[in-house]
Structures are given as structure tokens and as C-alpha cells.
Chain A
Amino acid sequence: MMHSSSLAVADSAAADVFVVELAEYSGPLDLLLTLIRDEQIDIYDIPIARIAEQFLDRISSLKLDEAADYLEMAARLVRIKAQMLLPRREGEDVWEDPRAELVRRLLEYQQVREVVDVLERRSEDRRSRFARAYTQAAVQLPVAGPLTISLPELLSAVDRVLRLARKPHVHDVVPRALDVDGAIGIVRALMAIRARAQWKDILPRKAEPWEVLSLLLALLELAKLGELRLAQPRAFAAFEITRDPSGEAA
């Protein structure tokens, strides 16, 4: 069981993980770094036996001794302490300090703490300023009350609206029949004397819309019949009309 006194915050972890850390230290490295600082120890030459003892002392007095992360660090310290006691073999060139890995992690952690200081200052600066709290206002349509209007009033209102409204403009549509057969005749006559032609060759100057449409339909019709071929080198380019060799043979 966790001790309620010191781990009260940890118990509320589920509710708010931002206070999950144990009251005083944010982790075993923090505790270790605090001990080193308090004892004014050279980080590159840590008296492991002493520090391990103090670490165990501290976690038991703070009743942190059930927190797995702290226990793991305690075990690590004890292991390093044991390794330090092993005799160094004579003539061995490379001796790896068992503390090296721990020192590296402490320095790395120390660096993280320095960045935290920077972040803390920045965050305080930003927390002391407010941005405009913009919220999209919900569009509330006014609730329509019961109408209090008499029939004559309503009718006169309708009348007013109708008088104000402009008279709609009505277009007169004059039906004009397309002359596709005539256009086919024109195209056939032209293609009889020319092997190839272009759209503008068949189209009369100042052509009426019905003439343009008739010619277009005529060309499509003749292409379908196989009498001529329509080709466009690229999009929006003028298309070429050529006599279809196969149609000619037929």
C-alpha cells in the first residue's frame, strides 16, 4: 500500500496527471541530483557508497520506498557500489568506470532541468497575457410571437409588396429552326474541292448562332457517317477537317 501522507498526490494521479510526481522530486534522477548538489559533490567523482546510503535513507524517510522507479535507481546505485569494490586487474589498460553511465545520465538530466527553467519562464510570461477569447456566437433566431395583425392590414401589406416588386421582364423567344441538311450540303460541296479545311473556312462571316450550330451538327454528322475526319492537335486549337480516306473509297 502507498503511504497516504507523502503519496497523497500520487493517489490523485488518475484525476489530474499534472500533479502525479511525488511531492518533492520529479523522479529518482532529481533526488540524486539534489543529493549531489546538497553535498557539494563533484559530479565526475561521486562517492558512490555515501550517495547510495543517503539515497536509500531519503527514500525510506520520504516513504518513497515503494515507488518502483526509485527502487530501481537504488538497486543501480548498490550495483555500482559493488562494482567499484572489485579489484582492478594489473596491467589492464582500459578501465571502465562503473559510474560513467550514471554520470552521463545525470548530466543529461541536468540539461533537461535547465531547459525546464527556460520553459517555466516563458510559460509564466505567456500566462500573464490573455488573447482575445473569441467564441463563435451561436446564431439565435428570434422566436416569432403570435401575429397581431388584422386581415385588412395583411392584405394592404401584400398589395404594397406587389406594387413595389418590379414587373418581371419576359423574353420573347423566336423559334428558328436549324438547317442541318443545308449545312451538310455546304460542307460536302467544300470538301469535294478541298482535301482539308478548317472551321473558319466553312463558317460564313458574321454567322448567326443558328448557322454556327447547324454547321457544327453537320460536321459531326458527316464525321459519324465516315465522310470526313475531325482532328484537333491540342485543346482549344482550331480543328482540322479532312476527307476520310476510307469513306472516300466506299
Chain B
Amino acid sequence: MTPLAKLLEAALFASATPVPADALRLMAAHAEDGETTLEAALEELRIHYENDGHGVELVEVAGGWQILTRPEYTEAIERAQLAARPQRLSAAALETLAIIAYRQPIGRAEIEEIRGVGAGAILKSLQERGLIDVIGRGEGLGRPLLYGTTPSFLEQFALRHLEELPRADELAIALRAPRHAGTTATTPAVVAGAPTKDNGEAPPRAD
């Protein structure tokens, strides 16, 4: 391996969380390995783990890089009680996260409107888990808290960035714009960041 690849391996090993690409770039700039670029060294490390039969692999996640164990050893590691998989999130918690991921910043009322159930307890525990955080306050009565996802969310869902989630128009059912003036006021018509076209379709009619 090139000296830079070895240095990156050491840095990634030393860190418990994904190392931001910027931090690695800074390390590479200070390293006396002028020949190798950061990208080339990372690729070298990735291939090194892949080809030579390693128990770990290099993963790009949450805007950084991280060394993780390979899935095939998870059970053995868990059986030996060396590490435990985090608890799965409930469907309700995942729905809430999905809504926040697409519509952030978003207030509690809007989440409840979409899911049709109260969200208070779920928001609290998602926040305790570090998956969401308050990122501002909305306009209007009581200046409601607005929630958004955290870097830890990306990490725990193996996402490099939010754009890796499917765009709204890539989902099987594209959302139709609401026809009622009363509904547009409370709910945005489309999933944020992923505009869908208003195809001008007529509202459903009863015959």
C-alpha cells in the first residue's frame, strides 16, 4: 500500500465514527505523500480490503468514510457478546423519520397530519436516539419547533447524503397536488426537494 493509504487506514481505525472527507483531505495534505491523491488512496484501501480477504471493509457514509465489519461475521460477533446490533425502529418511528427526512424542516402538527396519529412521544425518542434534532422554529402561532435529520441519521441508515433517498417522482405513486384551497394551507403538496409535476388530472369523480 502507498504511505497515504496506510495513514488513512490508521486514521479510520482510530475513529469510532465516520471520518469526514474534509478531515481526511486535511490529513492527506499534511502527509508527505505527494504522489497519491486522497481518492486514489481511499480506493486503494477499499480494494485492499476487498481483494485480500478481510473481515472489515471500507464504507462511504454520511459524508465521510468508515471501516465496518463485514455482514457475514455479525452473528458470531453478537453471539460472543462483543457488540450488539441496535434495536430496530418501529414502523411508526420509521414513518415519522421518513416524513422528516423529506420535508425538513417540519413541525409536529404537519407530521401528525400526514400520519393521522399523534407524534409527540415518537419525536422525543427519535431525538434521544440522535436521529433528529430541532433545527429551528416555524412561523405562526406558538412558533412551533421544526425538526430535521442529523448526520447520525445518515450513518444509521447507511446513506452517504440525503439525496441518496429516492426522489418523490421516483416513488411508485406520484403525489397529486391537492385541489382544495383549505388543504394547501396546511400541507405542502409535494415532498420537499423533489418536485412532482402537476399533471392536471381531474379530481376523482363519483358516477
Residue positions of A touching B, CB distance < 8 A: 13, 17-21, 26-30, 44-45, 69, 72-73, 84, 95-97, 99-101, 103-105, 107-116, 118-120, 122-123, 125-135
Residue B132, interface by CB 8 Å = no
* Complex-state Cα separation, A45 to B178, whole angstroms: 16
Report the nearest B residue to A132, measured CB to CB: B16
How far does the alpha carbon of A107 sit from the alpha carbon of B16 in the complex, in Å?
Answer: 40
Residue of A whose beta carbon sits closest to that of B112: A69
B interface residues with partner A (beta carbon < 8 Å): 13-17, 59, 61, 66-71, 74, 77, 82-83, 85-95, 97-99, 101-102, 114-118, 121-122, 124-125, 155-159, 165-166, 168, 171-173, 175-176, 178-180, 183, 187, 191, 203-206
In the assembled complex, the Cα of A69 lies from the Cα of B114 at a distance in Å of 12
Residue among A73, A113, A127 facing the most chain B CB atoms (10 A cut-off) = A127
With A20-B121, A126-B156, A132-B13 as contacts: A44 and B204 at CB distance below 8 Å: yes
**B158 and A125 contacting across the interface, CB-CB below 8 Å:** yes
Whether the pair A131, B159 counts as a contact (CB closer than 8 A) is no
Minimum CB–CB distance for A5 against chain B, Å: 20
Closest 4 CB pairs of A and B: A134-B16, A115-B98, A129-B68, A128-B71
A20 CA / B95 CA spacing, docked (Å): 13
Alpha-carbon separation in the docked complex, A243 to B1 (Å): 71
Contacts of B70 in A (CB 8 A): 129
Q: Which residues of A contact B155 (CB under 8 A)?
A: 126
> What CA separation (Å) do A135 and B77 show in the bound complex?
18
Q: Which residues of B contact A125 (CB under 8 A)?
A: 71, 158
Q: Is the CB of B83 within 8 A of A133?
A: yes
A-B contact pairs, 9 of them (CB 8 A): A18-B90, A18-B93, A96-B180, A99-B206, A105-B114, A114-B166, A122-B159, A127-B88, A130-B83
Rounded to whole Å, the gap between the CB of A99 and the closest CB of chain B is 6
A47 to chain B, nearest CB (A): 10
- Asked whether A107 lies within 8 Å of B175 as measured between CB atoms, the reply is yes
Contacts of A132 in B (CB 8 A): 13, 15-16, 67
* Interfacial chain A residues near B87, Cβ < 8 Å: 18
List of A residues within 8 angstroms of B157 by Cβ: 119, 122-123, 126
Are A112 and B59 touching (Cβ within 8 A)?
A: no
- Min CB distance B146 to A, Å, is 18
Which chain B positions have C-beta within 8 A of A26? 90-92, 95, 115, 117
Q: Within 8 Å CB of B121, what residues of A?
A: 13, 17, 20
State whether B116 touches A28 (Cβ < 8 A). yes
Contacts A19-B90, A128-B71 known; list 8 others, CB within 8 Å: A29-B116, A44-B204, A69-B117, A69-B118, A73-B116, A111-B171, A112-B114, A115-B101
